[in-house]
Amino acid sequence: PVMTASGTFGYADEYNDFINVENLGAIVTKAISLLPREGNKHIRIAETKAGMINSIGLENVGIEKFLSDKVPVLNANNIEFIVNIAGSTVEEYTNLAKICSSNNIKAIELNVSCPNVKTGCLEFGTDDKSLYELVSAVRNEYKGFLMVKLTPNVTSIESIGIAAEKAGADAVSAINTLKG
């Protein structure tokens, strides 16, 4: 059951020319926010000797366009998926969770680890109490499979992961981007 990492695989069928996406266990979508986001200004990717540094900034189409344009493609192609959701406040995350629930989205991943945005995400993912409150609030609104994407940019990823579990996460995804 191999899955893609969010942010690396688009939304649906962008890789059909390269692989049979149906053979994957699931794809984890690019992050989705309540409203569309342009992301950070270019240049957003820089190659280094050790790999690359990115600063995409959660560019995405927003939840409405995702539901109207991307979900039908995923369903038509029998692609299992987990929706990565990102917000700046607890309310944004819970609103996204409610929308996913009411649209029968089977699985979501909370993005609490993106280091390339000014507010949200990492603010929750670096503090076990804040993360616990966020995951608990989302769990109250969403009964499907709930995964939390952790950041490596903490002193103790173990305490962060335990807070996610205690708050109701079904799994954690380790790890998102290292700060460059």
Cβ–Cβ under 8 Å, residues 113 and 177: yes
Catalytic residue, from 21, 67, 97, 114: name it: 114
Residues 172 and 73: their CA atoms lie apart, in Å, by 27
What residues pair up with 32 in beta bridges, in sequence order? 85
- Residue pointed to by tokens 């069928």: 13
Cβ–Cβ under 8 Å, residues 9 and 27: yes
Q: What backbone phi and psi angles, to 5 degrees, belong to 64?
A: -60, -50
Cβ atoms within 10 A of the Cβ of 13, count?
15
How big is the CA angle at 27 (ends 36 and 25), to the nearest 5 degrees? 165
What residues pair up with 52 in beta bridges, in sequence order? 47
| 114 catalytic residue (yes or no) | yes
Does the bond joining 175 to the residue before it have cis omega, within 30 degrees of 0? Answer: yes
Looking at the annotation, which residues are catalytic? 114
